[in-house]
Structure 1
Amino acid sequence: MRYNVCVVGGTGFIGSHLVARLVTLGHAVRLPTRRVEAAKALGVLPGVELVECDVHDPRALERVIAGSDAVINLVGILHSDRGTPYGRAFARAHVELPRKIAQACKDRGVTRLIHMSALGADSNGPSMYQRSKGDGEAVVRESGIAATIFRPSVVFGPGDHFLNTFAKLQRRLPVVPLASANARFQPIYVSDVAQAFARALECDATLGKTYELGGPDVYTLEALVRFAGAACGCERPILPLPDSTARLQAAIFEKLPGEPIITRDNLDSMTVDNVLTGPLAPELDLTPNGLEIAVDYLNGGNWEKRMADYRRFAGR
């Protein structure tokens, strides 16, 4: 069946992969964006309509959602000003916007809403990020729409800001000082996330349910940094930092211009394991890729060398 799908936040890392997947499946995609020019690479895909729109404006949001069979919300940020229970940026992106999207769906008669949350989302969690994500889930559920909510672990893939950042650091630094080295993650490949969303669009069994998403393996943060270094051919020594030093480092990064590499709130998030509490739901029909698929985009060298680096890291 062909759906008209409005993807809010569809111009980012995950969104670009999901939009491509939806188009491949024959769906029509409406893509609201602050600047059409910035999203023109997606605009050339068949069936994609770019609409310049401020999605935080309820009236504009309602107009762009009109006529859709389904709405997907992918909007999420990693950093915010500080506040209780969270800062203004988290409140705006993770709580207020989902509330506006759910209301617009109700007003326009859209009954299928798919919402991107995060593994560890908890209104009483240790970090502002987790609390805002938990409250965002709550407003979606309280809307009365039988929404599908996804909670992925950290997402990797071409163009990510996760493994690519670790690779970049090791290309530039002789040693990597690492906070929360023992934090645990279950990374999932971006195409697998896109597949799960696309599956939920067509599977009525997912209505009103919340799903965790993760890959086949669990890694410590230190192991992921080592993997990225091995894959890009620039593996460096890693220096795990004590908590007090890590928090000082994060506080300094927060004050530097630009997007911080790590914040104190990120450290708070990593006090909770970012791993699945059970197996993937069978109705998602998903067999996720392993981390080794990242070797191909982390190193531009020849395939045999890349795989040799991965096998060395994996002890194979």
Structure 2
Amino acid sequence: MQYDILLIGGNGFVGRALAAQLQLAGYSVLIPSSHPAMGRELRMLPKVHVEEADVHDFDELQSLCARVKPGGAVINLVGVLHDRPAQPYGKIFKAAHVDLPKNIMTAMQMHGLKRYLHMSALGADSNGPSMYQRSKGDGEAAVKASHLDWTIFRPSVIFGAQDQFINLFAKLTKLFPAMPLANHQAQFQPVGVEDVATAFIKSLTMPKTIHQSYDLVGPKIYTMREIVELAARKAKTTCAIIPVPAFVGYLQALAFEFLPGPTLMSRDNIASMQLPNVLPANGIDALGEVFKISRRSLEGI
């Protein structure tokens, strides 16, 4: 069977929202996943097919692209948040943010596919202060150098009912009566997951979005402290926030990196916070001005 859309990274937080919207819009969707059992709710969508595949294997990637209809599109949402320190970035970031997009685009060209939607990140910059930002910046450069009909999306922190950002702080405020918080003045402009998904879908039928990059942000800027306070209110708990110097946050992140289980915060995350994660002063509110989307607020989560 051939599909309208190959959705790479479709089994994640953003991917599940996007797959549901694609289904509603009438698209048939193929989602490759190394953990297909995690996408149980996706299996309830009749036009969405999840199957086991390793997108980092080029032969499998070619096989997947061969199953996209002529005139169909490939959407790449793959992103990772943590890696071991290296210059300019480690192997995990390189594999996910640079090598994979290059391989996807090569496989697309081999099968005559042109339309490619790419998930980057606000602040992506090949010369940025963090490994994450630099790897995302190099990924964008590779996309722009291709001969495909590409569109790049650069969201701020993405929130939603199942996000790993607000929910993390909500859990922490339940566990601890007080929270030492470094970089408490770091700024973010969180954007709703459904709004991000809608922008992706609208771009599929908007030729003017080809060869364009769009910053995706919510309607309001928050400091890190304000986000944690909001998370505490949502969790119906109280948590005293204790601002601490940046070097304390660095030491906390270093400790988190060596604890068992998933990394909650890394030194690279701290480096990313050196720059405000908000719409640039001369930036365009793409959700409102280009895609005509009424943006959801963080308070309405």
Q: Which interval holds the TM-score relative to the shorter structure?
A: over 0.9
Alpha-carbon offset, residue 50 of structure 1:
1.8
Q: Is the 8 A contact 1:79 1:263 kept in 2?
A: yes
| CA deviation after TM superposition for structure 1 residue 218, in Å | 0.3
1:198 aligned partner = 201
Q: CA deviation at 1:235?
A: 2.5
| Aligned-pair Cα RMSD in Å | 1.1
Q: What corresponds to 1:251 in structure 2?
A: 254
Correspondence for 1:133:
136
Where does structure 2 lack aligned partners over 5 or more consecutive residues?
none
Report whether the alignment pairs 1:74 with 2:77. Answer: yes
1:22 aligned residue: 22
Quote the offset at 1:35 in angstroms. Answer: 3.2
SS at match of 1:32: strand
Provide runs of 4+ in structure 1 moved above 3 Å. none
Of 248, 259, 267, which residue of structure 2 is paired with 1:264? 267
Residues 139-218 of structure 1 mapped to structure 2, 5 A cutoff: 139-218=142-221
> C-alpha distance in 1, partners of 2:83/2:51?
27
Matched, 1:103 2:110: no
Q: Does 1:94 align with 2:101?
A: no
Equivalent pair of 1:65/1:108 in contact (CA under 8 Å): yes
Distance 2:48 2:59 in 1: 22
CA distance in 1, matches of 2:100, 2:214: 21
1:289 aligns with 2:296: yes
Match of 1:60 in 2: 60
Q: Deviations over 1:240-264 (max 9, x none)?
A: 1101111111111111111121111
Aligned amino acid, residue 212 of structure 1: D
CA distance in 2, matches of 1:130, 1:145: 23
Q: Deviations over 1:48-81 (max 9, x none)?
A: 1222211011111011122420000000000012
TM-score with structure 1 length normalisation?
0.90
Task: Check whether the contact 1:205–1:283 (CA below 8 A) recurs between aligned residues.
Answer: no
Higher strand share: 2
> Which residue among 110, 114, 119 is the counterpart of 2:117?
114
Name the SS for the 2:203 alignment partner.
helix
Structure 1 distance, partners of 2:156, 2:14, is: 13
3-state SS in 2 of match to 1:284: coil
Aligned with residue 275 of structure 1, among 272, 278, 282: 278
The answer to whether the Cα contact below 8 Å between 1:280 and 1:286 also exists between their aligned partners in 2 is: no
Per-residue deviation, 1:41:
2.2
Q: CA deviation at 1:284?
A: 1.5
Structure 1: gaps of 5 or more residues: 295-316
Residues 185-232 of structure 1 deviation map (CA, whole Å, 9 limit, x = unaligned):
000011001111111111111001000000000000000100111122
Give the superposition deviation at 1:24: 0.6
Amino acid at match of 1:48: V
